[in-house]
A and B are shown apart, each in its own frame.
Chain A
Amino acid sequence: GAVVSQHPSRVICKSGTSVKIECRSLDFQATTMFWYRQFPKKSLMLMATSNEGSKATYEQGVEKDKFLINHASLTLSTLTVTSAHPEDSSFYICSASNYRDGYTFGSGTRLTVV
C-alpha cells in the first residue's frame, strides 16, 4: 500500500533554532499534504494544507511565518519550525492525500525544544 516516510522521528533542539521535518510519499504522488500537531493525550490538530507547487493554507491561529511549509514536488513536503521555543514541543505528523489511496500518515516527529 501507500507509504509516507517522515524524518526525523525524534529531534531535540535548542531554543531559537530551526528544525526541518520531511515527508516523502514513496510509491505514489501526493497531490495534497496535511500537517498536524498533537499534544500529549490530545487530538490531532490540523496546522496547514499544502498542494504541490502552491502556497500552503494555514488554519486559524497557526503562524505561517513560524511554521514554514514547502511542497515543491508531488513526493516531498517539508515543515520547518523556525525560532523554536519550548511551547513548540509536540508530535508533528503529516498526511498525504491522493484520490487513489485516500489518506496515508507519516510516522510522526517528536520535537523537544530545550
Chain B
Amino acid sequence: GENVEQHPSTLSVQEGDSAVIKCTYSDSASNYFPWYKQELGKRPQLIIDIRSNVGEKKDQRIAVTLNKTAKHFSLHITETQPEDSAVYFCAPIKAAGNKLTFGGGTRVLVKP
C-alpha cells in the first residue's frame, strides 16, 4: 500500500510568516494530491488539491506544488494568521473513490 510521510511533524511560525509542509509518498501511480486541515475535535476539511497533470496550484494564501518525479508535494501557506493554526494532513491517492491514506499530520501553530 501507499507509504505517506509528512515533514515537519510540528511547525511554529510567527504571524505573517510563511509555512511549508512536505509530503512524500511511495506509489508512483498516485495522481490526486489533496491537503486537509483539521481543527481540534473537528472533521478534516479539504483546503486545496492538485492532480498529476499540474505542477502548481494556488488559492489566495494557499498553494500546493507537486514533483511527481521525486514523489513529493508540498503545502505552502503565506502571510499566516492565527486561524491557520491546526493540524494539516496530506492524503495522496491513485484515483477518486480509492481509500485515502493520510500522512502523519503536521501541527501548525501561528503565534500572534
Question: Smallest Cβ distance from A29 to chain B, in angstroms?
Answer: 13
A interface, over-half SS: strand
Query: 1/0 per position for B9-49, CB-CB distance to A under 8 A?
Result: 00000000000000000000000001000000111111000
Q: Is the CB of A105 within 8 A of B43?
A: yes
Q: How far is the CA of A110 from the CA of B107 in the complex (A)?
A: 20
Stretch at the interface among B55-63, B73-81, B93-101: B93-101
Q: Is the CB of A32 within 8 A of B43?
A: no
| Residues of A contacting B102 in the complex (Cβ-Cβ under 8 angstroms) | 43-45
Closest B-chain residue to A59, C-beta based?
B99
Q: Flag whether A49 is at the interface (Cβ < 8 A).
A: yes
| Residues of B contacting A45 in the complex (Cβ-Cβ under 8 angstroms) | 102
Q: Flag whether A61 is at the interface (Cβ < 8 A).
A: no
Q: Is the CB of A97 within 8 A of B43?
A: no
Q: Flag whether A19 is at the interface (Cβ < 8 A).
A: no
Q: How far is the CA of A98 from the CA of B34 in the complex (A)?
A: 16
Q: How far is the CA of A105 from the CA of B105 in the complex (A)?
A: 17
Closest B-chain residue to A110, C-beta based?
B41
Q: How far is the CA of A49 from the CA of B42 in the complex (A)?
A: 21
Q: Is the CB of A99 within 8 A of B103?
A: no
Q: Is the CB of B44 within 8 A of A44?
A: yes
| Residues of A contacting B46 in the complex (Cβ-Cβ under 8 angstroms) | 102-103
Contact A34:B99 (CB < 8 A) given known A43-B104, A44-B89: yes
Q: Is the CB of A49 within 8 A of B99?
A: yes
**17 A-B contacts, Cβ less than 8 Å apart?**
A31-B97, A32-B97, A41-B107, A42-B105, A43-B104, A46-B99, A97-B96, A98-B97, A103-B46, A105-B44, A105-B45, A106-B43, A107-B42, A107-B43, A108-B42, A108-B43, A110-B41
Closest 3 CB pairs of A and B: A105-B43, A44-B102, A43-B102
Q: A43-B103, A107-B43 are in contact. List 5 more A-B contacts (CB 8 A).
A: A42-B104, A42-B105, A44-B44, A95-B100, A102-B96
